[in-house]
Amino acid sequence: MHRLTVLYPPPADEAHFREYYVRTHLPLAEKLPGLVASQYSFDVVSLGGESKYFAVFHADFESAEAMAAALGSPEGKAVSADVPNYASGGVELIHYPLG
């Protein structure tokens, strides 16, 4: 199993982020080919106090190759193109195998 994690720094408009993300962006992400499971959370907190991230999204795929194929697909390109519509703080993408 391979996981893609999307880390979102705080946006300029948190209410817009939440509404747009749930109503528009997540339905796009759920169409990624090969997606096995996904999770998201708002209001991310660091053990040391305030976090530099506002939200997080996890997408699980069978393999790194399946993840790469999903991101390169038309659906993946649509998801990527949609990010500026709500994530004014940008995004940080990381991926890794699950043990």
Q: What is the pLDDT of residues 26-39, one digit of tens each?
A: 999 999 999 999 99
Residues 6+ apart with CB under 8 A from 6: 56, 57, 58, 59, 91, 92, 93
pLDDT, tens digit (0-9, with 9 covering 90-100), for 48-62: 888 999 999 999 999
In the chain the domains, ranked by start, together with CATH numbers, are 2-97 (3.30.70.100)
Q: How far apart are CA 96 and CA 46, in angstroms?
A: 21
CB contact at 8 A, 33 and 70: yes
Tell me 47's DSSP state.
Answer: T
Length in residues, the chain: 99
pLDDT band at 40 (very low <50, low <70, confident <90, very high): very high
| Of 42-46, 71-75, 92-96, minimum mean pLDDT range | 42-46
Above 90 in pLDDT, residue 71? yes
6 token code pair: 């999307």
